[in-house]
Amino acid sequence: MGGATDSEPPAGMITQEYREHYQKQHDESPRKIARADYREISDVIEVPRSIDMTEIKETGQDVAAAIDQFYASNVRFLNPKTNYSPPIFDPFGKDYALNAQGIYYYNHYSPEQVTSGRKIWIPTLRGVDWEEPVEMHRRRRARVLAKHNIDNETRKKSEFAWEADAWSDVFGDMRDDPRLEIDKREYSAKLVKTDPDRFTLTRESTVIKRTPDATFGLATFSERESDLQVWADELRRDRLEKLLLHHKCGLLVDPKWGETDLVFPFAVYEAKGWSGDCREARRQACSAGATYLDMLDNLCRTPGPVDSTKPYQTTTSHCYQVFALTSFGAHWHLLVGYRRPRQAEEHAGTKGMSETIFQRIWSGRVVNEKTAWELLSLIDQIHLWAITEFGTFVLEHLRPWLDFCEENFLWGWYSVYGSSERRKRKRTYSESRDFLLPSWTDPLSDTLRQKVEARAKEALAKASLQRERGSELPW
């Protein structure tokens, strides 16, 4: 397979022109070889064989090993300074695009990859004995999961069947937990575009919308639900909406911009049937996970406009993380994602790139009770972590934001538009020109911005009315 090209193609070439440029060089290479004693090989990359589960002949561990190799793509990280040849694009281009955005995948978990004083929690099977009586219930669930997987595989069912069984057999307990919210939830993200020819960053950005097969986050509540045992005042939707809408905050709490129903996601799931591509599931899950890490990073900063540079709230605020789960038929992968400074092989110092790392912490072909039990044990540990350590982490970092917002919600708008009561009331209830909105609304269409503006005015009017009724007016 080709590596780096012999010369840099002219800037601005489109994909077809670039391929033709490369082909011309390739056609002339025999003449170059004839004029030289040898030709230097710049790089060699092994392409893992694709996996077609309808034709594969291996069984058991051989299948699992083949899928794990194909899942990882066996690709080195993109070098943003190297001019790659077109033959590299087809098998590796999509992974290089993620690398260009600073998203890296490691096929094995290594504590050495967790640097800069970061603490990462991962579920483990150490010390868990599946022969213990307390595991009997989980083993019954495991038998059901394995049976469904074998049935789906034997009957060559569609991706929907695999996904539906995952929701019931694997995620059922989390779905029934009132503290958590799980949904096929759309997310939006602002990304720097990658060059379609060389998969390096461009100077242009775009807003993308994608919908993972499942997103896992914290549930929110209304004021009327305060009698619920799991109710949390910090997770009231009206309070979160103020954080979302005020121009001095603009904290996106829900991956679906403008919403407050599923907040601060901690895990994402992508499913592919046997006819799908397990690498695409990984790329989709890692892209979503990187967006959720962005949301947590904003939460952990000191309160203020999210597009401004701010320090972390505490010395451990940078220790946030997410999980990415994928299934390719009966074969599952469990990844942990986090942020840390990029190392030399990850092209540290290159501007415009993220610092997102995903490591595989478990994988297995879930077609027997033992492997199904392992998967469920790990998922149940993540469930417990989400409603304890993660939930506490979120609430501790959310409280300063809520206090900041309550202190500045009225004054933040009033201070911009002057101090006369008539002008304040006009701005609060009716005027639309120059009404300040948070930066996340900048890419929205005029119609959507008008809808957000109407919500902001409504929230401002409600807050103003509550202030008039409850205490002395601020002016």
User: Is 277 in the same domain as 291?
Assistant: yes
User: Is 415 in the same domain as 318?
Assistant: no
Q: What is the pTM of this model?
A: 0.84
Amino acid identity of residue 335, one-letter, is L
User: Is 358 in the same domain as 424?
Assistant: no
Q: What is the pLDDT of residue 432?
A: 47
Distances (CA, A) of 419 to 183, 410, 427: 45, 12, 11
Q: What is the pLDDT of residue 428?
A: 46
Q: Which tens digits make up the pLDDT trace of 391-405?
A: 999 999 999 999 999
User: Is 343 in the same domain as 227?
Assistant: yes
Instruction: Provide the pairing of β-strand 356-365 with 331-339.
Output: antiparallel
The CB density around residue 119, as the number of other CB atoms within 10 Å, is 10
User: Is 387 in the same domain as 439?
Assistant: no
* 3 state DSSP class of 359: strand
* 3 state DSSP class of 435: coil
Q: What is the pLDDT of residue 458?
A: 86
Among candidate residues 359, 381, 402, the one where a domain is terminated: 402
Q: What is the pLDDT of residue 429?
A: 44
Q: Which tens digits make up the pLDDT trace of 430-456?
A: 444 467 889 999 999 999 999 998 988
Q: What is the pLDDT of residue 324?
A: 98
User: Is 11 in the same domain as 79?
Assistant: no
Our measurement of the distance from residue 183's CA atom to the centroid of its chain's CA atoms, rounded to an integer in Å, reads 15
pLDDT at 258 over 70: yes
| Element housing 415 (H / E) | helix 391-417
Among candidate residues 402, 429, 449, the one where a domain is terminated: 402
User: Is 113 in the same domain as 206?
Assistant: yes
Report the number of distinct structural domains present in the chain: 3
Instruction: Provide the pairing of β-strand 103-106 with 356-365.
Output: parallel
Q: What is the pLDDT of residue 418?
A: 43
The answer to the question of residue 342 being in a domain is: yes
The answer to the question of residue 127 being in a domain is: yes
pLDDT at 59 over 70: no
Task: Return all residues near 151 (Cβ < 8 A) that are at least 6 apart.
Answer: 157
Q: What is the pLDDT of residue 111?
A: 85
User: Is 236 in the same domain as 317?
Assistant: yes
Distances (CA, A) of 331 to 149, 164, 214: 9, 15, 17
Q: What is the pLDDT of residue 311?
A: 95
Q: What is the pLDDT of residue 116?
A: 67
Per mean pLDDT, which range of 20-29, 36-45, 268-277 is the poorest? 36-45
Q: Which tens digits make up the pLDDT trace of 34-51?
A: 554 545 555 556 666 666
Burial 426-450 (b: 16+ CB within 10 A, else e): ebbeeeeeebebbebbeebeeeeee
User: Is 411 in the same domain as 386?
Assistant: no
pLDDT mean across residues, the chain: 82
- Of 260, 239, 253, the C-alpha closest to 298 is 253
The CB density around residue 294, as the number of other CB atoms within 10 Å, is 18
Cα-Cα-Cα-Cα dihedral sign, residues 241, 405, 206, 355: negative
The answer to the question of residue 158 being in a domain is: yes
Question: Which pair of tokens denotes residue 354?
Answer: 């993220």
Q: What is the pLDDT of residue 204?
A: 83
Q: What is the pLDDT of residue 2?
A: 47
Q: How confident is the model at residue 6 (pLDDT cuts 50, 70, 90)?
A: very low
The answer to the question of residue 50 being in a domain is: no
The answer to the question of residue 395 being in a domain is: yes
User: Is 91 in the same domain as 134?
Assistant: yes
Strand partners, 189: 208
pLDDT at 352 over 90: no
Quote the CA–CA distance of 8 and 151 in Å, as a whole number. 53
Q: Please give the residue range of the domain that contains residue 14.
A: 1-44
Mean predicted confidence (pLDDT) in 69-82? 68
Q: Which tens digits make up the pLDDT trace of 125-183?
A: 999 999 999 999 999 999 999 999 999 988 888 889 999 999 999 999 999 999 999 99
Among candidate residues 378, 402, 426, the one where a domain is terminated: 402
User: Is 74 in the same domain as 152?
Assistant: yes
User: Is 36 in the same domain as 69?
Assistant: no
